[in-house]
Structure 1
């Protein structure tokens, strides 16, 4: 759902308003031309108005009628040249009015009819309102001036001409300001409507994306509105089913109990098969009216998850504090054990005890280091890397830093450039941890470990992947479901923090770490990275 934004009148709305006004202007012009034609071609005006130049009046009125009809038919096309259209059409109005005035004895109603033309033009083009009024005043004064200098036109009172000219200026000024106020009001109303529409869409978007289920139910238990979470929690009913008692009978029962007792049950309930338990909460839209009721469905699993996250966060801070206090005495114990191991008087049993002390000191120190690393983890600094080159360098560096003995570690890369966006330092720590686990646990009994670090693209030109694959016995499904939980381990010397820390670092770089079982035996830990530009190609193998 897109969120609409408006600044003033939208282009479509403003265009529609202008088209309507211009259409009205052209219709009035046709009516005005019809009046002129009736004066000279029908007996309607013969009794009250004396015609002095019949041929001029007939020609002018017919030409004016033809021009008015053409302008009316071309209203839509003329919108693209609005200013020129209004100036040209008003010029035709003034010329036609002057010609009609020359054809009549006196002024009659012609100047009054032209006044509406001036007013409409001032509304459409407020900046030119006074220019329109002056042009009309000069046109109306032309027959009067012509008569003053001995022309054949019957003279009229100069006061009438002056009054009409003043009226044009007044009308243009008033309608100019009125038009400004009307357009400002239209603009304000349009903005208010747009703001309300934006607000409604934002509210709908927020409600739809809320993880808490939200429903609006009327007095007849008819569902008026429902968001995605609520629809899912009540078992994804048919879109055409809106009866609460049908789609969620237990929820309808609790709502009935709340309406009559003003108290809701606080126990969790599953509203559909295979759905998590929820705690329904009810509230009225208005304090004194329960015709419409809002129902909030709080997923208890989300509440438990938030509580677990808070617990882990608090536990992490506490563990970090404890780890700092443990390091000093642990270092003293380990140093003393090393000195004791150098004594020549130790028996075989004492040497074995010293070895046990050293092993457990090493294990405790690993736990402390992991906890401290987790608590002081730095923010991710992603950058673009060539994943093929990175994997090759990593495998070579690991071989140089560790004596693999008979174990095998190799890199499998693509023969084309494979780019990914990741924090290289975090990826180094994650890959180091995964390779160590694979070499330690991913081996068949009495056989060397065979581990591969693979850089490739997911199927169908998907994101870049880095995988650490071994050919060991694999991980049982029950264990695989918990390996990324903190402090979970199946090895007596394991800390249970290595994979948890690796997953947290991967997510900090907007990557995902997952375990993928391999058919026929073995384990695969896959890191899905952010893509920059990748090309699927055949792999090549380096020793």
Structure 2
């Protein structure tokens, strides 16, 4: 089942395809009320026939009734009740309406059998439908109860008649009617239970189908691959959000694919003709990314075609991610092999520096070896960090205090000389959900870069780590420097792996920092400052803002 999202003028008047087919919660009740309607119609027919028997041309054929006053009173009263039940009986509770109907039928029916003995057998036969209908519409115990009341009534009427008056009816007749009432009530009660169970099952299946349709629609709508539905006349019927974003102004207000995207329409026509798709990248507009179209029929034999528009930038990022994963595994193996000889070199240099036999001129060479060994060890750590990608273990972190401790630890472990590094916070306490170990690693990379590159020539670096809340109450950590800033062309590539403007860097620091942020459901972005300098912003998931003695939790 395909449900797409139409917007930006692409066939806005068409419904989503196909509409969800779901059973309403009241379908079972509606079906039973339909049966109740026929039941009330039958009761009205019974009452009219009884009146016709007493007041019509066939009255002379039946002979005089047993009770001259009772017979017409019963017939007319039954007709009035039948009319009232037909008009008002279907508006209230289904069970109450059915119980009122069967009670009326049994009362007036048994009285009519007693008042008009010549028509008693026919009336008893007609009551069989009433008993069956009641058992069908009511729960089993009520339906069988109505049948038992009918059995008791028909036998009781026969016994009463036999006691006070002579009758030519045989005892087998009421007994046969009693068996018929019970058998019919049992059968229709089973059928009614099965019918209600079927409607309940259909209702559940309908709700499940509706939910699956909503999930399917959400998935299709949120797909990062653009999806178009094009009919046999090249009219764009539906498009999801990604497709409208890729089409841009080309699809705005145009339902004809040949008008909106002539090149895509040409490729579609060629695919329909020979079944071969041209998969070379296509750029629909100068400001839009290139796309690769793929075509498939919606259904076998259908003239409607699904067009998938793959964003080449997404494909490139996937390929880059796979390449980096492979490279990371290879680099990790290589880094482990480098670490052992590197440790031996560093240990040997340390021993030589402690020796008194080394000349002063040679100590400078040892210092160079030690520095390069430290640098190489840093490269190995970066490569291993790229390969590990350890999962985040988030916990509640109070950011203002965390940043203050981080700055103190960094100062203690990294002599700053004339440089300055300070922490600031908009509020005394701001909470976030993050892995503190990985956040520490991210801030170490950002602060190191700011102290290294964020300085004006000949001036000390001034770096601030600032914590605040944005307009949506999400915590932000800004690492701000007062350096020369970063050129726009360089800023676009800052987070690409192995990109660096320095001859001493690996180009992995910012890439690993962003990956660590993503692992914590956070983001890392470069924010240029109008007054000069640079800002790297970490946007975290907020959990609360502590004010005074309590905590106000952030709904985001």
Superposition TM-score tier, normalisation by shorter sequence: 0.7 to 0.9
For the aligned residue pairs, the C-alpha RMSD in angstroms reads: 3.2
Find out whether 1:136 has 2:147 as its counterpart: no
In structure 2, stretches of 5+ residues that fail to align are: 5-19, 549-556
* Cα distance, 1:367 vs structure 2: 0.7
1:305 aligns with 2:310: no
Q: Paired residue for 2:542?
A: 531
Q: 1:399 to 1:285 in 2, by over 3 A?
A: closer
Quick one: which of 11, 17, 35 aligns to 2:31? 17
Which has the higher mean CA deviation after the structures are superposed, 255-264 or 96-105? Answer: 255-264
1:454 aligns with 2:466: yes
2:223 is the alignment partner of 1:242? no
Q: Comparing 334-343 with 406-415, which one deviates more in the overlay?
A: 334-343
SS of structure 2 residue aligned to 1:410: strand
The verdict on how the C-alpha distance between 1:236 and 1:170 changes in structure 2, with shifts beyond 3 A counting, is farther
| Equivalent residue number for residue 165 of structure 1 | 178
> How far apart are 1:388 and its partner, in Å?
2.0
The correspondence for 1:412, drawn from 424, 432, 439, is 424
CA distance in structure 1 between the partners assigned to 2:205 and 2:459 by the alignment: 76
What aligned pairs does 1:203-282 form with structure 2 within 5 A after superposition?
Answer: 203-235=216-248, 241-282=254-295
Note the C-alpha offset of 1:502.
1.4
1:87-486 pair list within 5 angstroms: 87-106=99-118, 107-128=120-141, 129-151=143-165, 154-187=167-200, 200-235=213-248, 241-284=254-297, 289=301, 291-338=303-350, 346=359, 348=361, 352-459=364-471, 461-486=472-497
1:505 aligns with 2:516: yes
Helix, strand or coil at the partner of 1:109: helix
Hey, what's the Cα distance between the residues in 1 that align with 2:282 and 2:347?
58
Distance, in Å, in 2 between the alignment partners of 1:171 and 1:485 is 80
Q: What residue is the counterpart of 1:541 in the other structure?
A: none
User: The residue matched to 1:366 in structure 2 has which SS?
Assistant: helix
Task: Give the drift of 1:251.
Answer: 1.8
Helix, strand or coil for the counterpart of 1:171? helix
> Distance in 1 between the 2:67 and 2:250 partners?
83
* Cα deviation digits, residues 118-169 of structure 1 (max 9, x gap): 1111111251333322211221233321121124x75533233223222222
Greater Cα offset, 364-373 or 437-446: 437-446
Give deviations 1:315-345, integer Å, cap 9, x for gaps.
Answer: 1111111111222333344444555566666
Q: What is the distance in 1 between the residues matched to 2:252 and 2:82?
A: 56
User: Residues 290, 76 of structure 1: CA spacing in aligned structure 2 closer, same or farther, 3 A cutoff?
Assistant: closer
Equivalent residue of 1:295, what SS? strand
Q: Structure 1: how far apart are the matches of 2:74 and 2:371?
A: 115
Rounded to whole Å, the distance in 1 between the matches of 2:251 and 2:304 is 22
Distance 1:408 1:31 in 2: 100
Asked whether the 8 Å contact 1:363–1:494 carries over to 2, the reply is no
Change (3 A) 1:344 1:257: same
The alignment's TM-score, normalised by the length of structure 1, stands at 0.86
CA distance in 1, matches of 2:97, 2:431: 60
For 2:234 and 2:91, how far apart are their aligned partners in 1? 54
Query: Is the alpha carbon distance of 1:218 and 1:100 closer, same or farther for their aligned partners in structure 2, counting shifts above 3 Å?
Result: same
Cα shift readout 1:206-227 (whole Å, capped 9, x = no counterpart): 4333333333434333334443
Distance 1:132 1:371 in 2: 84
1:413-440 CA-partner distances (Å, limit 9, x unpaired): 2445321111111111112222222223
1:53 lines up with 2:57 in the alignment = no
Query: Are 1:520 and 2:534 an aligned pair?
Result: no
1:97 and 1:113 mapped to 2: Cα distance?
9
Mapped contact 1:19–1:75 kept (Cα < 8 A): no
Q: Give secondary structure in 2 for the equivalent of 1:214.
A: strand
Q: Is the 8 A contact 1:283 1:295 kept in 2?
A: yes
- Unaligned segments of structure 1, at least 5 residues: 538-543
**Kept after mapping to 2: 8 A contact 1:147/1:155:** no
Supply the distance in 2 between the matched residues of 1:268 and 1:126 (Cα, whole angstroms): 66
Q: Cα deviations across residues 184-237 of structure 1 (Å, max 9, x unaligned)? A: 554555566566555555544443333333334343333344433334333455
Structure-1 separation of matches of 2:436 and 2:205: 51
* Contact 1:452/1:470, CA 8 A, preserved across alignment: yes
